[in-house]
């Protein structure tokens, strides 16, 4: 399959979010990546339900919600109600990950699990058949605009190997420091969904950059 591009609105202009969403609607973006941070799992706080609901009002593309929060089970229904199409939780933040994944599916959302840069792909072995998506963090989560971690290439190949055996239709999503210089190599390693925040929203022509990322 051709890779998907999911711009992260974390780096968007929050004072003019409607304009940003309109730009994404008109662009070649496939999903809109929505980063939720609680100041506990990560050292930063982003936004919550009212903002997601406002985005949903205008978005014509699926909302790919990435929860960087502790104990996400507490809020799954609320994220669904706010407009999430996909919900990704962190392996490191879930005590009963299998239950959490089943609940996300019961809600009718695409179910994803994210792993931090220090977490080996091998820890996905007993959950990979249950999920729709694995998100590989290619920076330490918490902030946009950070430097891409090179070990991610190996991690993608490890996830790809696991998925070939257990879940061939898996989305393998890469999040952090993705730009035109590394996207082709990431796709070659096995990635099929690429998140980009800073690369898109700091570009002079964000829609043009999305197109470049889509066709890299």
Rounded Cα distance between 7 and 99, Å, is: 29
Q: Which of 163, 198, 212, 216 binds ligand DX5 (CB under 6 A)?
A: 198
**Least distance from C-beta 6 to ligand DX5, angstroms?**
9
Which residues, at least 6 apart from 54, have a Cβ–Cβ distance to it below 8 Å? 17
Q: Nearer to Zn ion by C-beta: 48 or 166? A: 48
Residue nearest to Zn ion (CB): 66
Binding partner selected for residue 72 from Zn ion, ligand DX5, none, CB under the kind-specific 5 to 8 Å limit:
none
CA atoms within 13 A on the CB side of 74: 7
Q: Which of 84, 178, 189, 194 binds ligand DX5 (CB under 6 A)?
A: 178
Q: Which of 145, 203, 207, 214 binds ligand DX5 (CB under 6 A)?
A: 145
Active site residue 175: yes
Q: Is 64 in the site for Zn ion (CB under 5 A)?
A: no
Question: In the sheet that 4-7 helps form, which strands lie side by side, from edge to edge?
Answer: 4-7, 193-196, 171-175, 133-137, 110-115, 86-90, 63-68, 32-37
SS3 65: strand
Active site residue 78: no
Angle at 124 between CA 121 and CA 125, to 5 degrees: 105
Q: Is 144 in the site for ligand DX5 (CB under 6 A)?
A: yes
Q: Which of 112, 156, 175, 213 binds ligand DX5 (CB under 6 A)?
A: 175
Q: Which of residues 32-61 bind ligand DX5 (CB under 6 A)?
A: 33, 35
10 Å Cβ neighbour count for 107? 15
Q: Is 11 in the site for ligand DX5 (CB under 6 A)?
A: yes
Rounded Cα distance between 44 and 172, Å, is: 25
Rounded Cα distance between 158 and 160, Å, is: 5
What's the token pair of residue 126?
A: 């007993």
Rounded Cα distance between 46 and 92, Å, is: 19
**Least distance from C-beta 165 to ligand DX5, angstroms?**
28
Q: Nearer to Zn ion by C-beta: 133 or 189? A: 133
Q: Is 35 in the site for Zn ion (CB under 5 A)?
A: yes
Q: 35, 64, 85, 132: which is the annotated catalytic residue?
A: 35
Task: Give residues in contact with ligand DX5 (CB under 6 A).
Answer: 8, 10-11, 33, 35, 66, 139, 141-146, 175-178, 195-199
Q: What residues are annotated to the active site?
A: 35, 175
């Amino acid at each position: 399959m051709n890779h998907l591009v999911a711009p992260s609105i974390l780096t968007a202009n929050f004072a003019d979010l409607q304009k940003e969403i309109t730009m994404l609607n008109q662009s070649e973006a496939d999903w809109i990546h929505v980063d939720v941070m609680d100041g506990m799992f990560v050292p930063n706080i982003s936004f919550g339900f009212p903002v997601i609901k406002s985005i949903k009002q205008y978005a014509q593309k699926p909302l790919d919600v990435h929860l960087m929060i502790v104990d996400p089970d507490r809020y799954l229904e609320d994220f669904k109600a706010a407009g999430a199409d996909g919900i990704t939780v962190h392996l490191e933040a879930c005590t009963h990950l299998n239950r959490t994944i089943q609940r996300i599916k019961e809600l009718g959302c695409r179910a994803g699990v994210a792993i931090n840069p220090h977490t080996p792909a091998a820890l996905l072995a007993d959950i990979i058949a249950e999920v729709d998506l694995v998100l590989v963090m290619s920076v330490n989560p918490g902030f946009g605009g950070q430097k891409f971690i090179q070990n991610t290439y190996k991690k993608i190949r490890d996830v790809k190997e696991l998925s070939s055996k257990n879940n061939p239709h898996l989305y393998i999503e890469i999040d952090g420091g993705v730009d035109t210089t590394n996207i082709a190599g990431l796709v070659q390693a096995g990635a099929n969904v690429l998140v980009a925040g800073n690369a898109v929203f700091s570009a002079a022509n964000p829609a043009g950059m999305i197109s470049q990322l889509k066709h890299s």
